[in-house]
Amino acid sequence: MVVTVDQIREGGLFLNETLSESFLTHALADVKDTGFRPDGPALLHVKLQKTGSGVLLRGSTEVTVHAPCRRCLADVHLKIPVSFVLNLVPKASLAAGDDEEGAEDDQSERAGSFDLDRADEEPFDGKHIDLDPLVREQVLLALPMHAVCREDCKGLCGSCGQNLNEGQCACAAEQVDPRLAALKNIKLN
């Protein structure tokens, strides 16, 4: 969804936008497949505020996803809170600011209440704000590296595939260090 800067009034612009399941599916799998899939759509809350030359964008949502447990492959459902603050800066003013190292500090002091220095800068054309790629990136950033069904998941037996959370398999007793297992097969003359 695209917002134009003209739509943002003095008090800011608030939007509630549904992130469809297909939007989220693409966000999670397009660039690099994360293994996570959405359980359904999510509701995104956005607030846009003009700052001197740019726009401050605050967004929050909660995405429910599932993925196979990294160790035992059981389906894991996770609620991922996503919240972000981005300082959208017109490309023109970014280019102009390149020679003045101090310019950025002055700006963040003046807009102190916005906490601009802690917000990530994101260039835009100065007129249109395309929320989709920004939201997609923030959802990706909020994801954990991988899913585990529980911290102490025992995973699957490497030999028989038994889910060790459900009980020990028969192989456990004769489990041998793979390096030693290789030695066992060497016949000594």
Contact with Zn ion (CB under 5 A) among 159, 168, 176, 182: 159
Pick 48 or 148: Cβ nearer Zn ion: 148
In the region spanning residues 24 to 83, those forming contacts with Zn ion, defined by CB under 5 A, are: 69, 71-72
Residue 175 contacts Zn ion per CB under 5 A: no
Residue count, binding to Zn ion (CB under 5 A)? 11
d(CA 163, CA 160): 9
Query: Do you know the residue count of the chain?
Result: 189
111 binds Zn ion (CB under 5 A): no
Dump the DSSP string for 78-144.
EEEEEEEEEEEEEHHHHHHGGG-TTHHHHHHHHTGGGTGGGSEEEEE-SSEEEHHHHHHHHHHHHS-
| Residue 149 makes contact with Zn ion by CB under 5 A | yes
Using rule CB under 5 A, residue 164 touches Zn ion: no
Tokens of 96: 């102009």
Find the shortest distance in angstroms from Cβ 137 to Zn ion.
Answer: 29
CB-nearer residue toward Zn ion: 134 or 148: 148
Using alpha carbons, select from 65, 57, 75 the residue that is nearest to residue 15: 57
The DSSP symbol for 186 reads P
Q: Give the residue with the Cβ less far from Zn ion, 92 or 170.
A: 170
Residues that bind Zn ion (CB under 5 A): 69, 71-72, 149, 153, 157, 159-160, 162, 169, 171
